[in-house]
Amino acid sequence: MAEPTLIDFRTAPERYRHWKLALENGVAYLTMDVNEDGGLKPGYKLKLNSYDLGVDIELADAVQRLRFEHPEIGAVVIRSQRDRVFCSGANINMLGLSTHDHKVNFCKFTNETRLAIEDASHHSGQRYICSINGIAAGGGYELALACEEILLADDGSSAVSLPELPLLAVLPGTGGLTRLVDKRLVRRDHADFFCTTAEGLRGKRAQEWRLVDRLIPPSKLAEETKKIAEETAARSARPKNAKGIALPQVERQVEGDTIRYTYLTVEIDREQRAARLRLKGPSEAPPADATAVHAQGAAFWPLALARDLDDAMMHLRLNETEIGTWVLQSQGDGALVEAYDALLAKEASNWLVREIVLYWKRTLKRLDVSSRSLIALVDPGSCFTGTLLEIILAADRSYMLDGTVEGSNLPAATLRLTPMNFGPSPMGHGHTRLATRFLSDPPHVDELKGARGRPLDAESADQAGLVTFTPDDIDWEDEVRLAIEERAGFSPDGLIGMEANLRFAGPETMETKIFARLSAWQNWIFQRPNATGPEGALKLYGTGKQSKYDRKRA
């Protein structure tokens, strides 16, 4: 049997097969022109601007690059190259051929890409506008929903629709249901009709029901889109005369079950079904100011590490689905990490520094919603400080070695809080990980502000509630080993459900609803015979045969 081809999330505009990127007068035009023969795997054609994971990998790359490489861009237009077709959504044949884990991970990644679009609109001054020139169905309309303004050609045939339930017996996979009622505030009865009508809605009713914002005659769509986008870009606070930084390809070397990045090493233990992610702290003091940060560009330690960690997580999610536990460790000088955090706080108003902090926020959110058991280890030589301490707070449980290791000259492990733990990197529900951790005692979070910058040994960290267990040198190896072995013995399905329920204590937001409700229900629906069975809608789509449903409500 041939080895499966690994999915690589690293790309660049010159290698795009499905998108065209053009820049003009402060506006970026992302034009969808999907290559029918450019699917990630054989067996399906990407007709009618339908997409698979490869199309979305390019979109995610473009969204990221526009933030870092083009500070002069204040508006982004998503449009189609195809006549009378915007996007027909996720490719149905691809979904029918995909394994269950690939379908779910595909939906999760596309969700994260749409959230990155919204984050750019809300926090980076790059407002996204969708210009629909034809049919926007399923995931195509969900892409439009991620934008802040939706323009629709008023030609009697251009329409928006979410036909997944009536046609495929599944749900819109990229947050469409939630965005309808939570973001666009569509009335529930209108949303109910819309989501059970395969052909969707067009024209005046689509606008009246808040499904789109503006109707434009097709002959004027391009002209009006350009005008609206340029007016939007002119209002943006992005630094129009600033120079961006290049994002070169993330470098990594794969040696068997070890993956080496610049500031991260991933070691896979297949017997224990675990991966150890060892993050490396900075080796030198931070630059003096934002100008020096710009000069370092993508090599600036916080940005370089975030890119390494982001790539590793995506690789493990899609290519190592049986590796169910991620063991998170770090090594380096906590005082140096604190110095980098101080620089990020001092230069927070700088556009590039802001983007780096926002990128860390998104990377930590990706960790939060990864369906993996997260175990953090704090041992001598660790540098879990500030931004990196968020990894401890994101873990399902953590172990901190109390004291030193016999025969080692490394000092006892410590943790350090910095201002970065008190606001810049909230979870998906808007609360910090500290606030989420101490829902029963909110004043404790304010008390912890007094400990900022002070090294906390195992006893102090335990008293502060920052770690789960603090074994000594005698018990360390056994406790850690048992924790990892125990995790490998549990049902992966049960663990995913338990972890997702426990991680997001507190309020709900549109973002957490998308991941909690959609991921849970889509995960279930994708395994039900009504959708994926031999006579299910997803399997029979396009054959002309009628699906046979089990009519029992569960």
508 within domain boundaries: no
Give the position of tokens 């290519």: 319
Q: Which two tokens stand for residue 216?
A: 């434009």
Instruction: Report which of 370, 321, 269 is spatially closest to residue 4, judged by C-alpha positions.
Output: 321
Give the separation between CA 477 and CA 406, rounded to whole angstroms. Answer: 13
Give the separation between CA 419 and CA 47, rounded to whole angstroms. Answer: 49
Yes or no: say if 456 and 412 are a contact pair by the CB < 8 Å rule: no
| Residue 229, domain extent | 13-235
528 within domain boundaries: no
Yes or no: say if 80 and 33 are a contact pair by the CB < 8 Å rule: yes
112 within domain boundaries: yes
307 within domain boundaries: yes
What is the pLDDT, as a whole number, of residue 67?
98
Is the same domain home to 132 and 226? yes
How many Cα neighbours within 13 Å face the side chain of 368? 29
543 within domain boundaries: no
What is the pLDDT, as a whole number, of residue 526?
82
515 within domain boundaries: no
Total domains in the chain come to: 2
Is the same domain home to 221 and 292? no
What is the pLDDT, as a whole number, of residue 4?
66
Instruction: Report which of 338, 242, 348, 341 is spatially closest to residue 290, judged by C-alpha positions.
Output: 348
What is the pLDDT, as a whole number, of residue 497?
87
CATH number at residue 415: 3.90.226.10
> Taking every pair of C-alpha atoms in the chain, what is the biggest distance, in angstroms?
78
114 within domain boundaries: yes
Three-state SS annotation for 382-401: CCCECCCHHHHHHCCEEEEC
Q: Which two tokens stand for residue 388?
A: 């990196």
* Cβ count near 519 (within 10 Å): 19
Is the same domain home to 128 and 45? yes
What is the pLDDT, as a whole number, of residue 527?
85
- Backbone φ/ψ region at 58: left (φ over 0), alpha (ψ -120 to 50), beta: alpha
Is the same domain home to 496 and 360? yes
Beta-bridge partners for 469: 399
- Backbone φ/ψ region at 346: left (φ over 0), alpha (ψ -120 to 50), beta: alpha
User: Residue ranges of the chain with pLDDT lower than 70?
Assistant: 1-4, 518-519
What is the pLDDT, as a whole number, of residue 519?
67
Give the separation between CA 541 and CA 547, rounded to whole angstroms. Answer: 9
Q: Measured in whole angstroms, how far is the alpha carbon of residue 490 from the centre of its chain? A: 26
Yes or no: say if 325 and 488 are a contact pair by the CB < 8 Å rule: yes
Give the separation between CA 542 and CA 93, rounded to whole angstroms. Answer: 9
What is the pLDDT, as a whole number, of residue 1?
39
Phi and psi at residue 160, in whole multiples of 5°? Answer: -115, 145
Which 3 state secondary structure label does DSSP give 139? helix
Query: For the chain, how big is the Rg over CA atoms in Å?
Result: 24
Q: Which two tokens stand for residue 369?
A: 């919603």
N- to C-terminal Cα separation, the chain? 39
Is the same domain home to 262 and 122? no
Q: How far is CA 499 from CA 87, 340, 364, 370, 434, in A?
A: 35, 31, 16, 10, 17
Q: How far is CA 151 from CA 107, 147, 172, 344, 548, in A?
A: 25, 10, 21, 38, 38
286 within domain boundaries: yes
Is the same domain home to 297 and 415? yes
pTM for the model: 0.96
DSSP secondary structure, 288-354, as one string? SSHHHHHHHGGGSHHHHHHHHHHHHHHHHHHH-TT--EEEEEEES-HHHHHHHHHHHHHTTTSHHHH
Is the same domain home to 224 and 272? no
Q: Measured in whole angstroms, how far is the alpha carbon of residue 118 from the centre of its chain? A: 11
Q: Measured in whole angstroms, how far is the alpha carbon of residue 6 from the centre of its chain? A: 19
Give the separation between CA 239 and CA 524, rounded to whole angstroms. Answer: 46
